[in-house]
Structure 1
Amino acid sequence: MSDVAMPSSADATIAVSIHGPAGVLDLVVPAGATSVDVAREYAKQAEVPGIPLLQTALGQRLNASLPLGDAGVQAGDVLVATTGVHRPRKVTLLQAAKNAPESPALASMIATIAALAAVLAAWYAGRAGEETVRTVAVGILLACALVSVIPVGRHLRQRSAAAPAFAAAAAFAALYEPGIHLLPAILGAAGISAAVVAGIGRALSASSDEISTVWIVSGLAVFACCALPALLGWDARVAWTLLVFGSMMAARFAPSLAIDVPDEALLDLDRLAVTAWSARDSQRGGRRGRIVVGADAMERLVHRASRIVTGASVAILVTVLVASPLLLQSATIDLDVIGARCLVFFAGCSLLLAARSYRHAAARALLRLAGLGALTALAVHLVVGPGAPHLGSFFYVVVGLGGIALAAAVATGRGWRSVWWSRRAEVAESLCGSFAFASAVVAAGVFRRLWEITS
């Protein structure tokens, strides 16, 4: 290949096809060769006078100072040898979008922003006094939800993940009426709408989607927690209590439900085939048993579990951020107020401690945000809520600053990974869960109801 030295590695070569005035010529060139070297070799073998210019199939001229590997030329590409410089053909916006490479991260960000915009649109349409605005908003949101689950086009996974949010927003905008007593039923309808659209997307998809599974489970759980108290005529704080307590428990059980390893992936078949007679014979030659552990299968398992845990963490974050302020706002009687405050406090602490055991960075951050969101809602309620005394507010601020200082001290030291802090964190997490369960009975009004009956 002209006077360019061949690299020592055999896989550092590129096979290209060059179309020119003398026909098509296939060359295997080093990745470090420039376009001038390849053009000189083409002119030599094709017996073409002069050295032509090399361009890509789209008409973009290759830089003569860059090697082909750095210029983006890959094995099997088609190059064009010409004596003149041609301008690259004009590409329309639609063609550029079709030819653009896949970008899952960007698509996920856009889908998240679209879901947030749908929630804001539903909130505005529900509170707007005009029925025309509400009808148009509901129609647009519902159309976006149904179109997003159609298995046509690119970024289907990201679109299907955002579609239930549009359905929930459409249900909220259609059913919202002023009055906190109707809010549990409205959120229950939004949850079942999201579950239905997620189920449609899962049925139309060729492969199983873990995010759709999380949407279905979360939507049905919200519907059960909100619709059951509404049907039985219970107070709204019962629904918010169930949602806060359920979110705290979901943070503990989500990782165990996400890891679903098939039996044939982790079983040693040779050991299972050992009988009473063959067990007496010692293996010779250090023969290894056949353990069925496929690398591709384990990689798919890890990605699947990662998506489930991340989706569950997002659902926990949204539920806690919505239910915690509503629970604190709906509790008006002194005994119920104490139970609601204790439930939100212990649930937030339990979420912060549960995030410690997560090794997935995104899920750990989302659970910490959920815990901090619950504690922030409690702090705001204590400081600026109705009947908040100044001395009590000062006491709460001092205790909060002490907790922040303790967390900062642990983080700057060896952290929760040290044995001493890890053991105490396990005990603290168990205590917070137990106290939260006891507080849920008081926050829902069950304890006060029994007290009134027996007194």
Structure 2
Amino acid sequence: MSDVAMSSSAGATIALSIHGPAGVLDLVVPAGATAVDVAREYARQADVPGIPLLQTALGERLNAALPLGEAGIQPGDVLVATTSVHRPRRVTLLQAAKNAPESPALAAMIAGVAALVAVLAGWYAARAGDDVVRTVTVGLLLVCSLVGVLPLGRHARQRASAAPAFAAAAAFAALYEPGVHLLPAILGAAGIAAAVVAGIGRAVSAGADEVSTVWIVSGLTVFACCAVPAMLGWDARVAWALLVFLAMMAARFAPSLAVNVPDEALLDLDRLAVTAWSARDGRRRGRRGRVVVAADAMERLVRRASRIVTGAAAAILVTVLVASPLLLQAATIDLDRIGARCLVFFAGCSLLLAARSYRHAAARVLLRLAGLGALVALAVHLVAGVGAGHVDTFFYVSVALGVVALAAAVATGRGWRSVWWSRRAEVAESLCGSLALASLVVAAGVFRRLWEMTS
């Protein structure tokens, strides 16, 4: 080797196989040797005129001044000695996309953005007033929804999760007519359209899709809450009040559905296991088997629960953000307006309190956004709607409650994570749910109707 200064110790060596014009040559070189040193040694032992260039097996040229150890060369690597530079093969954008690794998180984010764009497109087409624009938009949204549920290509699960949003936007754009009294029926049709497309995606998919189940349940619930009052001739605020209340209750029942273990996991007839937690591993090394839980079964259960909780939290967020402003706007009578404001307030507080019990980070954030969205809608209504004189009182009371909560949290040193705070939060959440149920009766007009009948 040449007398180039080595950056590593003499004991650190790298075994290499160099392919060149003279055949294959195995060398053991110091880790601090550069590509020029190795090429010169190869030329000397292989009796090759000149000093060849060294490249990796993928065609990347090695830096002549960089030691092999710092260049990422590992023992056993194969280098190519050549007199000309072989550049790596150019890869097109389509080939690079096909060879790219799976990225479910990025695909889910892109699918969510696409669903939001589809909703905005449907809203714009519905209010554009141009029949050509509406027809073209509805056709494109329907085609995208049907293509999205096909189990073909990569990230089929993420595309199927966003496809019902395209169908709902298409139904809204096709059926929208000016008039507040028709809005519940239009949203009910959009909900049943999303449920139908989600059902198609669930039917054609190879495995069970939990997000499609959430879409089906949410779409049917929206359809029932919006269609039944419209058919019975009730006011639109009944539908919005039901949606706000059911969204609040869904935050409590969604985790119980997520942790529902299938019967085949609870009872193993082959091993006579009572539950999944006492199932014995089939590979026994001795007379006494160890009580274990299969890792793949637990991974499937956790992934299934994660998808259900995240999908349910997203459905709650969308429902609250849409129904809360519509409820506050539809309540025009003084008594109904009080009930609507109380329902939105207690539902938002209940969602904020329910979010603390979620250990899934994404679902917890979505529920907090839903609760904050309801409170923001109430604040905007108090500022811009009827009864704006109560804004000062609402502001002072909110600030005072925030200061009291902050002082109590600082005093305990652990905030909502302590057992004492957890019990108080559970009581507060139950109280908010009870008050929201009582407010539902007033917001829907039932209390006022009974009062009018008996007076």
TM beyond 0.5: yes
Larger CA deviation: 193-202 vs 125-134: 193-202
Q: Which residues of 2 match residues 63-142 of structure 1 at below 5 A?
A: 63=63, 65=66, 71=72, 80-142=80-142
Report the equivalent of 2:398.
400
Write the distance in 1 (CA, Å) between the matches of 2:342 and 2:75. Answer: 62
Q: Residues 423 and 78 of structure 1: is their aligned pair in 2 closer, same or farther, counting only changes over 3 Å?
A: same
Please report how far the alpha carbon of residue 406 of structure 1 lies from its aligned counterpart in structure 2 after TM superposition: 3.9
Q: Residues 271 and 376 of structure 1: is their aligned pair in 2 closer, same or farther, counting only changes over 3 Å?
A: same
Larger CA deviation: 312-321 vs 216-225: 216-225
Report the equivalent of 2:239.
239
Percentage of identical aligned residues: 73
Q: Which residues of 2 match residues 174-213 of structure 1 at below 5 A?
A: 174-213=174-213
TM-score by length of 2: 0.83
Q: Figure out how many residues of one structure are paired with residues of the other and give that number.
A: 430
**CA root-mean-square deviation:** 3.6
Please report how far the alpha carbon of residue 154 of structure 1 lies from its aligned counterpart in structure 2 after TM superposition: 1.8
Write the distance in 2 (CA, Å) between the matches of 1:34 and 1:312. Answer: 59
Q: Residues 216 and 47 of structure 1: is their aligned pair in 2 closer, same or farther, counting only changes over 3 Å?
A: farther
Q: Residues 81 and 365 of structure 1: is their aligned pair in 2 closer, same or farther, counting only changes over 3 Å?
A: same
Report the equivalent of 1:451.
451
Please report how far the alpha carbon of residue 404 of structure 1 lies from its aligned counterpart in structure 2 after TM superposition: 3.2
Query: Are the equivalent residues in 2 in contact too, given 1:194–1:219 (CA < 8 A)?
Result: yes
Gaps of 5+ in 1: 8-12, 275-285
Write the distance in 2 (CA, Å) between the matches of 1:138 and 1:193. Answer: 13
Please report how far the alpha carbon of residue 42 of structure 1 lies from its aligned counterpart in structure 2 after TM superposition: 11
Q: Which residues of 2 match residues 3-22 of structure 1 at below 5 A?
A: 21=21
Please report how far the alpha carbon of residue 383 of structure 1 lies from its aligned counterpart in structure 2 after TM superposition: 2.2
Write the distance in 2 (CA, Å) between the matches of 1:411 and 1:34. Answer: 61
1:259-315 deviation per Cα after TM superposition (whole angstroms, max 9, x unaligned): 1224565679999689xxxxxxxxxxx975543510121122112211211111111
Q: Residues 96 and 397 of structure 1: is their aligned pair in 2 closer, same or farther, counting only changes over 3 Å?
A: same
Gaps of 5+ in 2: 1-8, 275-285
Please report how far the alpha carbon of residue 71 of structure 1 lies from its aligned counterpart in structure 2 after TM superposition: 4.5
Q: Residues 364 and 273 of structure 1: is their aligned pair in 2 closer, same or farther, counting only changes over 3 Å?
A: closer
Report the equivalent of 2:228.
228
Please report how far the alpha carbon of residue 326 of structure 1 lies from its aligned counterpart in structure 2 after TM superposition: 0.5
Please report how far the alpha carbon of residue 131 of structure 1 lies from its aligned counterpart in structure 2 after TM superposition: 0.6
Query: Are the equivalent residues in 2 in contact too, given 1:53–1:84 (CA < 8 A)?
Result: no
Q: Which amino acid aligns with 1:249?
A: M
Please report how far the alpha carbon of residue 189 of structure 1 lies from its aligned counterpart in structure 2 after TM superposition: 0.9
Q: Which amino acid aligns with 1:402?
A: A
Report the equivalent of 2:152.
152
The answer as to 2:365 corresponding to 1:369 is no
Please report how far the alpha carbon of residue 369 of structure 1 lies from its aligned counterpart in structure 2 after TM superposition: 1.0
Please report how far the alpha carbon of residue 22 of structure 1 lies from its aligned counterpart in structure 2 after TM superposition: 6.0
SS in 2 for 1:252: helix
SS in 2 for 1:381: helix
Please report how far the alpha carbon of residue 408 of structure 1 lies from its aligned counterpart in structure 2 after TM superposition: 4.0
The answer as to 2:379 corresponding to 1:379 is yes
Q: Which amino acid aligns with 2:178?
A: P
Q: Residues 411 and 141 of structure 1: is their aligned pair in 2 closer, same or farther, counting only changes over 3 Å?
A: farther
1:125-183 deviation per Cα after TM superposition (whole angstroms, max 9, x unaligned): 11111111111111111111122222222222221111111111111111111111111
Query: Are the equivalent residues in 1 in contact too, given 2:39–2:81 (CA < 8 A)?
Result: no
Q: Which amino acid aligns with 2:399?
A: L
Please report how far the alpha carbon of residue 248 of structure 1 lies from its aligned counterpart in structure 2 after TM superposition: 0.5
Report the equivalent of 1:326.
326
Query: Are the equivalent residues in 1 in contact too, given 2:259–2:305 (CA < 8 A)?
Result: yes
Please report how far the alpha carbon of residue 204 of structure 1 lies from its aligned counterpart in structure 2 after TM superposition: 2.1
Please report how far the alpha carbon of residue 450 of structure 1 lies from its aligned counterpart in structure 2 after TM superposition: 2.0
Q: Residues 291 and 90 of structure 1: is their aligned pair in 2 closer, same or farther, counting only changes over 3 Å?
A: same
Larger CA deviation: 264-273 vs 412-421: 264-273
Write the distance in 2 (CA, Å) between the matches of 1:422 and 1:433. Answer: 16
SS in 2 for 1:354: helix
Q: Which amino acid aligns with 2:403?
A: A
